[in-house]
A and B are shown apart, each in its own frame.
Chain A
Amino acid sequence: MTAIIHPDASADRMAAQARRGAAKRVHGLSDRSIAWLFVAPTIVLLLAINIFPLIWMIRLSFTSLNLSMSYLPLRFVGLENYSDILTDDDVWFRLQTTARFVICSVALQVVIGFGLALLINRQFRSHSFWTTIILLPMMLSPAVVGNFWTLLFQPQIGPFNYVIGLFTGIPPSSFSMTGEVALAPWTIVLVDSWMWAPYVMLICLAGLRSIPDYIYEAAEVDRASAWRQFWSITLPMVMPFLMLAVLFRAIENFKMFDMVNLLTSGGPGSTTELVSITLKRAAFEKWRTGYSSALAIILFVTVFGAANIYVKALNRVKQR
């Protein structure tokens, strides 16, 4: 009856009741179920897109599957793919090429990056503006930019060779940065460092800024030379940051595909054929899916193992 006489009030009451009910139900969701409800979608997505395919790939790595001959019945070959890869001189050669690339480029990036960070930390005028300018290359697409470097490196018409010629007197058309066996490995190191030295710089800068002033003041009171201060204060304090940068860069460069694929596509010959490019050729050009799955798993185990060892070392440095 009252509902007919005071429709508004009753609606209000019902709404309030409904709200309370809803609140109760949400209250009924314990923190634990909320936690799982929130984490589950991410885990499910990663299981579907990362883990399930990974397990499938492990299975395929024991088969002779070749997608260009997929009419053949799936044959299990045991560890044959793995033993083929590990006894193949070519694969070892690619791994060496990759290791040389990783070591040289990370080393160069550490030298340039740390050097720039030390200079920027002197806080000259407008230093933050120039820092941003320096950071730009690392935010760009390695593929799109790597592609453009092929024009800059053209022997005859490219500005890079022209400038080198201007300063050294070497005729610009007499050398090709991407086409010569002796130069191409250094070319990818150069372009990679151009992109990623700022990365090391940014992390080192954070390390330098984390050192409290009073340590230097105390060192000054003790009359420690600038050289001494660098070796016994600056370097040890920045070390954890530097190692973090090295870890990230080493993993990324080990995976390197995009920039090199467009800049040299592994050439000339196979002088810059990083292991990712070998993998792409085996999997997406020769379609040797079984073989390339085994190679992919070997690579993953390598990165994962190396990263784990490195993280342990990093923690030890941090604790010191």
Chain B
Amino acid sequence: MSRIRIELPYHLRTLAEVRGEVELEVTGAVTQRSILDALETKYPVLRGTIRDHGTYKRRPFLRFFACSEDWSHESADAPLPEAVASGKEPLLIVGAIAGG
């Protein structure tokens, strides 16, 4: 069991009614998939907002950053860095910058 940290974008924090970082218990390997599974189990309102229903494909305007690296295009089952798995660093879920 790993206790990990996630930083959500503003609108998803509002939807989930959380402030600051979210902390989660993850069983088994710490990957994008296992983290999002745990996140959506704890906060069902987030289902469909980060990855599509059914296909679990990442929504195109969202990115996953960890330890100063972009993990968005890595396999959802690739182990994330030990610093994320140990809770030392958060997984950042970031909305693409847009507007004017």
Verify that A and B bind, or say they do not: no
